[in-house]
Amino acid sequence: MADSILLNPVRTNSRKTAYYNAGRPSRYQIEDESLNLDEMPLMMSEEAFENDESDYQTLPRARVSQRHRGLGWFLCGGWKVLCISCCECLVHTCRRKKELKARTVWLGNPEKCEEKYPRNAIKNQKYNIVTFVPGVLYQQFKFFLNLYFLVVACSQFVPSLKIGYLYTYWAPLGFVLAVTMVREAVDEVRRCRRDKEMNSQLYSKLTMRGKVQIKSSDIQVGDLIIVEKNQRIPADMIFLRTSEKTGSCFIRTDQLDGETDWKLRVTVACTQRLPALGDLFSISAYVYAQKPQLDIHSFEGNFTREDCDPPIHESLSIENTLWASTVVASGTVIGVVIYTGKEMRSVLNTSQSKNKVGLLDLELNRLTKALFLAQVVLAVVMVALQGFLGPWFRNLFRFVVLFSYIIPISLRVNLDMGKSAYGWMIMKDENIPGTVVRTSTIPEELGRLVYLLTDKTGTLTQNEMVFRRLHLGTVSYGTDTMDEIQSHIIQSYAQVSSANGSSASSTPSRKPQPPAPKVRKSVSSRIHEAVKAIALCHNVTPVYESHVNGASTEPESTEADQDFSDDNRTYQASSPDEVALVRWTESMGLTLVNRDLTSLQLKTPAGQILTYYILQIFPFTSESKRMGIILREEATGDITFYMKGADVAMASIVQYNDWLEEECGNMAREGLRTLVVAKKSLTEEQYQDFESRYNQAKLSIHDRALKVAAVVESLEREMELLCVTGVEDQLQADVRPTLELLRNAGIKIWMLTGDKLETATCIAKSSHLVSRNQDIHVFRPVSNRGEAHLELNAFRRKHDCALVISGDSLEVCLRYYEHEFVELACQCPAVVCCRCSPTQKAQIVRLLQQHTANRTCAIGDGGNDVSMIQAADCGIGIEGKEGKQASLAADFSITQFKHIGRLLMVHGRNSYKRSAALGQFVMHRGMIISTMQAVFSSIFYFASVPLYQGFLMVGYATIYTMFPVFSLVLDQDVKPEMALLYPELYKDLTKGRSLSFKTFLIWVLISVYQGGILMYGALVLFDQEFVHVVAISFTALILTELLMVALTVRTWHWLMVVAELISLGCYFASLAFLNEYFGIGRVTLGAFLDISFITTRAFLWKVCVITLVSCLPLYIIKYLKRKFSPPSYSKLSS
């Protein structure tokens, strides 16, 4: 990376640094000075870093404010700082948030709560009845363009400033406001209906008198709520009881964390043991819960029952929680509500939707300010040429109003109508069926994107795992040779059955010894051991649904004597990888048929049931990167320790071999997720010794986690390596070519996922997000400033490599080295952030917006992606397996990831190019008529008299030129096929060259030239008939505008021709019927239009000459430019 980037811990100027360093120990000066930071860690101890970390957070900021602030500071922007500070202080005082606190919640007694907690109502509305009109008006008039029109329109109520008819100013403004208000009202009504639907869902509340129905919005902290299967959990609760005999249930969390796997939740043991449901009111118990937090993956609390001796205390963790927005997947659950409304995890992780404004609108807003400045200067020049005679200030304002057409109000109308047209075209595109435009104000943003932030699960992948490879060291099995494994398994169990007769044992008869035998095992026995290990070492639970007359009812209890039929069995686990492995062993003939907290059962190919008792289970963690299980076989009493995990974790645990690292690398390059499986046989004495040490470690108060890990690690030595498995997470259709297309278009892709680091890295490779020849830098886990500094230095030395970083490390880096980290990350070809919370995803989007000032796009499909989608400049939602939450919150909704290619390359390009051309042409239309007005006023002794009256001014911007100008929304510079074939064309759009001060200046020069030619041409050629100057100049003006549309068009559409002909027809008809408007000034001296005059040959040829002189040079320039300096797209077209 760029070696010039310095990782200054405190970014500040040298003067401030010197100020801080005065009187501080020398070791801090070392860090704060701009030294070579590569060497800095060598000069500083870890202790110094830790000390400095606290100093970093408590810099003497108060003293900085005591610097001398004089009049110069106040005049040079200090007044602005003071005003902003006062406003922020006032807003903070008015909207002060209540401090979140920990709480004690008594079961079934909401009235015992010490504090008042928020209502459990969902509210997504932007306005209410009182704030709707002021809110919408503010959103409209905060733009300079609309505010300017309002001031000009209001000025017409002052008689001395009145220029024309009131309707010429108020009708267009009223139309714009009416359309906006109707659109906002429709959106607000839809939001209100959705909220009402969610808040009025009914739930059963448990009371002393039994069950009562209660609305979701009426639920309070302390209520006991019953939630049925497939019902949404309405508030954050602690899990007290379930109808499942195991004392646990599954929940679906896809709308909370984006993961489609079911999560296991466990009841509070004390309340689950109560004989009846009503006994919850007969006990005196409470839950102590930590204060509401953002983290959806952790919880700390205690359950206490007071009415027994001694009182019962149970610690509560994430396993005992039921967060709102999750769905119960099995059984019926009863919980006590601990957080409601704004304090729920799901609401805390959802950001408020903002009104998105496109970059093109902001650019046009800047251009209108420049036009306004030009307008004021022109008015001042006119008054100055008058010699500031009489009431010059009034004349100045009259000139400003007279030249107000420099900034046409039709600009806003045309652009808004254009945006609606683009939205309609996107939804009607047959190549991207099902696409919905939900925010019609930002279609041009699709053509300006630099960063694409994408979710992984369900967006890039289908989240469907398929078993692809089994490697035993000497032999490898792929999808085409799986039948060999199946025949080995059937043969293996058939031999055991025949050898043991009707014996209960159905495993191979050899007795395993603690040391691994040196004799080389046969391939058949190795396959058998490997498949059995895969079938046993997991956390999967089979769930059975009984079907009565086609209807699914409650899951039956999974007892051994139950009918374990294959057609109604589904597997549930916290990881889809494990489900894929168990499904594969089922297809090989070894089926998991039952599991509870103490045992699991397998069914052999011959139909016999094998029972294994679960002695210990060591779940997978992101630190250990492995999971283990100790089982005792019922038939033989043998104890076996099985373990599986990532190759980096397992390499040091298994016995020496020469193939593991190489084969894991080969599978990873194929995009497969690898797991290494190993086992170790234990004697009864070995296990008893381990169990006593393990239980003792679990009871210790200090360093419990470390002691437990140490005891488990004592078992993890010299394990027998069984096999390596390769599982593929199937990608969405055409993900690879789509990502390649986006990369070629110059779009940088960041993958933000809540999944594990290994999984994210694997998908990044298989989807070709990271190309084959690119290195990957995995950012080491860091927890403090010193570690972050060292790791950033290591990363800085890498060149052209993709970055993989976890959410925790990212948080530490952003706390101390935000600017440096973003600068380094932005230079990477791809970035993968794993273990990201929904809030972190949105934070990353905002960081890119602040530090790069480039346009960002976020795409996702789950409820956990909503914050990211709303924070991005352009949010795209995919309707997928994880529901419609992301799709409804997004600006654009698509059905498949591959559709994003066409959405950006074709529709994004067209929307931006068309709006840029339309906006500039509408401004040109206003500038040309203002130039003519200026020439006219200068001839008539600088009088502030309008050249064209009432209807002509309204007609000019509407009926005479609107259709041809608006037909520019049908124009395209490149065919869709070409735009997709050459995505490099997209790079030009991000530079914003279609609408810039340069192009704007060209249009200003064209307008001044044409306006001058039209007016002076009318004077030179019609000096005898000057009384007809309005008809002469206006006719030439209309013809010029129609020809200019033809000049601007790059690809003709039949509707464009129709629009030109209709406009021409309308104008000639008005010449005949509206002749009273074609006089000079207000109908003066009887100067009406003479029909016989416009039918003379002289009138026709003179008008044609004026029009030709105004347009022909531009056509010649355009031809020469295309000939000698053609744009890149025209080269491709030819």
Residue 465 and residue 579 in contact, taking contact as beta carbons nearer than 8 Å: yes
In 3-state terms, what secondary structure has residue 595?
strand
* Structure tokens belonging to residue 450: 């630099």
In 3-state terms, what secondary structure has residue 152?
helix
Instruction: Return the closest-CA partner of residue 336 out of 254, 225, 480.
Output: 225
Residue 578 and residue 534 in contact, taking contact as beta carbons nearer than 8 Å: no
Residue 402 and residue 948 in contact, taking contact as beta carbons nearer than 8 Å: no
Between CA 926 and CA 127 the distance in angstroms is: 36
Residue 1015 and residue 1022 in contact, taking contact as beta carbons nearer than 8 Å: no
Indicate if 483 belongs to the active site: no
Q: C-alpha distances in angstroms, 401 versus 173, 386, 388, 408, 1117?
A: 15, 17, 18, 12, 34
Token match 């007359």: residue? 549
Instruction: Return the closest-CA partner of residue 732 out of 695, 769, 761.
Output: 769
Q: What is the maximal distance between C-alpha atoms in the chain?
A: 125
726 φ, ψ (degrees, to nearest 5)? -125, 120
Between CA 399 and CA 942 the distance in angstroms is: 10
Q: C-alpha distances in angstroms, 840 versus 783, 814, 833?
A: 17, 11, 10
Between CA 442 and CA 908 the distance in angstroms is: 10
DSSP 1049: -
Note if the bond before 310 is cis, omega within 30 degrees: yes
Q: Helix 359-386 crosses helix 392-402 at what angle (to 10 degrees)?
A: 140
- 673-682 and 639-645: which strand pairing? antiparallel
Beta strands in 835-902 (DSSP E): 855-860, 874-878, 892-894
Between CA 1098 and CA 120 the distance in angstroms is: 80
In 3-state terms, what secondary structure has residue 535?
helix
Residue 555 and residue 544 in contact, taking contact as beta carbons nearer than 8 Å: yes
* Structure tokens belonging to residue 763: 């998908």
Q: What is the CA radius of gyration of the chain?
A: 37
CA 861 from centroid of its chain's CA atoms: 9
DSSP 647-662: HHHHTTTBPP-SSHHH
236, 261, 361, 455: the catalytic one is 455
Instruction: Return the closest-CA partner of residue 109 out of 274, 344, 282.
Output: 282
Between CA 738 and CA 740 the distance in angstroms is: 5
State the Cα torsion 508-510-513-515 to the nearest 10°: -80
Residues in the chain: 1134
721 φ, ψ (degrees, to nearest 5)? -75, 120
Active centre residues (catalytic): 455
